[in-house]
């Protein structure tokens, strides 16, 4: 039975692609899922489906509600949650996903550069592993799935 891994966090770099490709290359029994990765669709989905809203707050509110249907469902169905915090943007949604996953008792792996260590100390404390590179996430998955360490 495959493990389900939810990849949360920033959408502006190739980190998900690197993880997904390595999982395929190594033939690990893992299925990955993610939030809506098209920024425009994520922002505008609510108004495109439910209609225009009177203020930007309500536009964001209805869009966030639709996005939460996907995010909450996929997090709840996942075996492991990976949350990426990137360099360029504040990822408040990623922090929320990490807290939600922790509250559900889901194994959590954070992925971020060292410069974010202090800002993410509480989230990292809830995580079972802190990775710096996407390839380390794959190393962790390989180890927990089949007990195999990376080549030195």
pLDDT at 119: 93
Lowest mean pLDDT among 36-45, 70-79, 86-95: 86-95
Flag whether the pTM goes above 0.75: yes
Mean pLDDT computed over every residue of the chain: 95
How far from 134 is each of 46, 59, 113, CA to CA, in Å? Answer: 31, 33, 11
pLDDT of residue 88: 75
pLDDT at res. 21: 98
Count of all residues that appear for the chain in the document = 152
Q: What is the DSSP letter of 114?
A: G
User: Quick one: average pLDDT of 129-134?
Assistant: 98
CB 44 within 8 A of CB 63: yes
First to last CA, the chain: 29
Question: Which pLDDT does position 8 carry in this prediction?
Answer: 97
Per-residue model confidence (pLDDT) at position 54: 96
Q: Give yes or no for residue 90 having a pLDDT over 80.
A: no
Mean pLDDT across the stretch 127-143?
A: 98
Tell me what the mean pLDDT of segment 81-98 comes to.
90
Report the C-alpha gap between 141 and 147 in whole angstroms. Answer: 9
The pLDDT value recorded for residue 52 is 97
Average confidence (pLDDT) over 31-52:
96
Which of these, 32, 31, 34, 30, lies nearest to 8 by C-alpha position?
34
- Could you give phi then psi for residue 108, rounded to 5 degrees? -120, 130
pLDDT digits (tens, 9 = 90+) for 96-106: 999 999 999 99
Position 151 scores a pLDDT of: 79
| pLDDT score of 22 | 97
CB 72 within 8 A of CB 44: no
């Amino acid at each position: 039975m495959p493990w389900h891994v939810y990849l949360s966090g920033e959408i502006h770099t190739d980190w998900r692609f690197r993880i997904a490709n390595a999982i395929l290359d190594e033939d690990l029994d893992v299925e990955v899922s993610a939030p809506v990765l098209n920024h425009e669709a994520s922002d505008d989905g609510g108004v495109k489906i439910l209609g225009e809203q009177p203020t930007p707050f309500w536009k964001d509110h209805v869009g966030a509600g639709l996005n939460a249907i996907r995010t909450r469902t996929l997090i709840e169905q996942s075996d492991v949650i990976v949350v990426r915090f990137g360099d360029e943007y504040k990822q408040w949604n990623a922090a929320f996903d990490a807290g939600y996953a922790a509250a559900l008792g889901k194994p959590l792996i954070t992925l971020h550069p060292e410069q974010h260590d202090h800002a993410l100390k509480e989230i990292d404390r809830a995580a079972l592993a802190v990775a710096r590179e996407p390839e380390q996430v794959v190393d962790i998955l390989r180890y927990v799935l089949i007990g195999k360490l990376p080549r030195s």
